[in-house]
């Protein structure tokens, strides 16, 4: 995207009003001045504290500080040009101001005066909005962020006669996290990381991630999940891991010419590791993990639920590149919803989500998990909106043994001191979550008996457990039957 070209097109298209939402006031004014000079048009800037002045001159015009005065001046002056009203949004709802603005806009064909509203947040009244063009400065892409970081690294080295320390992995992760942020915000965060200790570390990336989330204004509907996983934490799922590894570089923008992957649906038995896999995608790709909670979205007010969803999706796009995780999506959107007296909210939610899935261009990778695929509408799971449906089945013996190893290591226990293969065989029909709970229960039992945890304690808990594959055998078999010819085995 070329900001200068796009803004030039807007001015040449003779829009009388231009709305610019940005926190980067100085960058926008510099761009406007550059484009105005190329178009041979003077640029005037108004602020409530200084009044109206030509940007190339220090002195303000007299009696132009108050909003009615500056609008009266712009309306009456013979001087054509581009007039930028900075932070004028609190005054837009005044009827007198609206009348002046409409008159100036309607006279644009004769006077060629272009009004530009520049504010961090901007909502034009309906009468003005129809005459206005919207312009948004593009955020720096990965190449621009890399150049910005390099400039800061070189500057620190020049001032301190020493190179910035750190690991390449931390630097790569920092670059990815800064994509989607404004140039000013990215520069401040890079300087904070460098000047803290002269190094770029994993701790710096965690701080940047948190500050990026706060700067984007995401709320409780869309939560930032800091507890991500690695592929080493996930047993089995070889096909899913291979599929994701093949697409990682396309998603992160490290290779060009390939379309970024859009998302996957993880279908499977409860406790089989779908949520862990979602966390591992973000960890493996070194991007933020955003979790969308459908339960928080719903509101009793008409239209509020859909607005909450739209805001959450916009927040996810501002966090891009990121993974958007929707857990148990069938509980929020299903074919059965809408017939239970909730006024069609689920249908409208579905429409909003489908439109976003089909039209989004930002690098937001959707990971939706489901336990009951038959409850989801077909249009949600068709190719084009998501890339693939993976079925996460109960683990086989080798995978169960690996699950045992992972959970023993997580609790600082040596897997070599246990008969892991026997435990894998003894937990046939167990999900990963049920194996973990067997180990947790065995730890409590061994502690109560004053004994060190051993294979026999875990075996005893496994024999005393009735896994979900026994309790809900019919449902699980039906799920497997559905997935046999419709999904890829993860």
Same domain, 238 and 351: yes
Same domain, 346 and 363: yes
Same domain, 458 and 372: no
Q: Which domain holds residue 95?
A: 3-135
Same domain, 201 and 243: no
**Tokens read off for 100:** 């002046």
- Read off the pLDDT of residues 241-273 as tens digits, 9 standing for 90 and up: 899 998 888 887 767 677 888 899 888 888 888
Mean pLDDT of 2-22: 90
Same domain, 25 and 170: no
- The CATH number of the domain holding residue 406 is 1.10.8
Question: What local confidence, expressed as pLDDT, does residue 46 receive?
Answer: 96
Same domain, 118 and 149: no
From 135, 167, 182, give the residue that closes a domain.
Answer: 135
CB 235 within 8 A of CB 399: yes
**Bridge-partner residues for 1, per DSSP?**
none
**Tokens read off for 86:** 């900075």
Same domain, 43 and 169: no
Mean pLDDT of 206-218: 69
Specify the number of domains making up the chain: 4
- The CATH number of the domain holding residue 14 is 3.40.50.300
Give dist(CA 346, CA 336) in Å, integer. Answer: 9
Mean pLDDT of 170-175: 82
Across the chain, mean pLDDT equals 84
Give dist(CA 61, CA 39) in Å, integer. Answer: 23
pTM (two decimals): 0.65
From 347, 363, 391, give the residue that closes a domain.
Answer: 391
- Read off the pLDDT of residues 265-290 as tens digits, 9 standing for 90 and up: 888 888 888 888 888 888 888 888 88
- Read off the pLDDT of residues 72-124 as tens digits, 9 standing for 90 and up: 999 999 999 999 999 999 999 999 999 999 999 998 878 889 999 999 888 89
Identify which of 372, 374, 337 has the alpha carbon closest to the alpha carbon of residue 353: 337
Domain for residue 35, yes or no? yes
Question: What local confidence, expressed as pLDDT, does residue 355 receive?
Answer: 85
Domain for residue 461, yes or no? yes
If you compute the radius of gyration of the chain from its CA atoms, what whole number of angstroms results? 29
Identify which of 243, 249, 283 has the alpha carbon closest to the alpha carbon of residue 263: 243
From 196, 216, 236, give the residue that closes a domain.
Answer: 216
Same domain, 87 and 166: no
């Amino acid at each position: 995207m070329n900001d200068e070209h796009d803004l030039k097109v807007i001015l040449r298209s003779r829009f009388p009003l231009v709305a610019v939402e940005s926190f980067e006031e100085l960058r926008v004014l510099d761009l406007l001045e550059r484009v105005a000079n190329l178009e041979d048009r003077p640029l005037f800037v108004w602020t409530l504290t200084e009044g109206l002045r030509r940007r190339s001159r220090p002195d303000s015009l007299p009696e132009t500080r108050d909003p009615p005065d500056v609008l009266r001046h712009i309306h009456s002056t013979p001087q054509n040009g581009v007039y930028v009203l900075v932070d004028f949004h609190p005054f837009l709802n005044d009827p007198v101001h609206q009348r002046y603005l409409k008159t100036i806009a309607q006279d644009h064909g004769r006077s060629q005066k272009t009004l530009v509203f520049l504010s961090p947040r901007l909502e034009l009244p309906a009468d003005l909005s129809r005459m206005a063009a919207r312009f948004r400065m593009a955020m720096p892409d990965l190449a621009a962020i890399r150049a910005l970081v390099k400039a800061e690294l070189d500057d620190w080295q020049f001032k301190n006669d020493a190179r910035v320390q750190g690991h390449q992995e931390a630097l790569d992760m920092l670059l990815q996290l800064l994509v989607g942020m404004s140039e000013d915000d990215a520069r401040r965060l890079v300087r904070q990381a460098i000047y803290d200790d002269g190094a770029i570390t994993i701790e710096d990336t965690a701080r940047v991630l948190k500050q990026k989330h706060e700067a984007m204004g995401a709320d409780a509907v869309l939560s930032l999940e800091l507890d991500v996983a690695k592929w080493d934490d996930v047993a089995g799922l070889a096909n899913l891991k291979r599929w994701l590894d093949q697409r990682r570089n396309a998603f992160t923008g490290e290779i060009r010419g390939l379309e970024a992957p859009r998302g996957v649906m993880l279908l499977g038995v409860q406790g089989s590791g779908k949520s862990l896999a979602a966390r591992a995608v973000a960890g493996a790709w070194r991007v933020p993990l955003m979790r969308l909670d459908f339960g928080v979205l719903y509101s009793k007010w008409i239209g509020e639920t859909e607005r909450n969803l739209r805001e959450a999706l916009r927040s996810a796009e501002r966090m891009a590149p990121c993974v958007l995780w929707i857990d148990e999506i069938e509980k929020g959107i299903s074919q059965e919803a809408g017939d239970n007296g909730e006024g069609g909210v689920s249908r409208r939610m579905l429409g909003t989500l489908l439109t976003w899935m089909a039209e989004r261009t930002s690098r937001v990778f959707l990971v939706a998990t489901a336990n009951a695929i038959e409850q989801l509408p077909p249009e949600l799971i068709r190719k084009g909106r998501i890339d693939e449906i993976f079925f996460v089945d109960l683990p086989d013996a080798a995978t169960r043994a690996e699950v045992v190893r992972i959970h023993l290591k997580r609790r600082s226990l040596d897997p070599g001191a246990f008969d892991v293969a026997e435990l894998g065989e003894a937990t046939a029909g167990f999900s990963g979550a049920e194996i973990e709970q067997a180990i947790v229960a065995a730890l409590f039992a061994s502690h109560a008996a004053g004994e060190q945890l051993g294979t026999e304690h875990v075996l005893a808990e496994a024999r005393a457990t009735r896994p979900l594959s026994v309790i809900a055998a019919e449902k699980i078999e039906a799920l497997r039957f559905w997935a046999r010819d419709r999904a890829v085995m993860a």
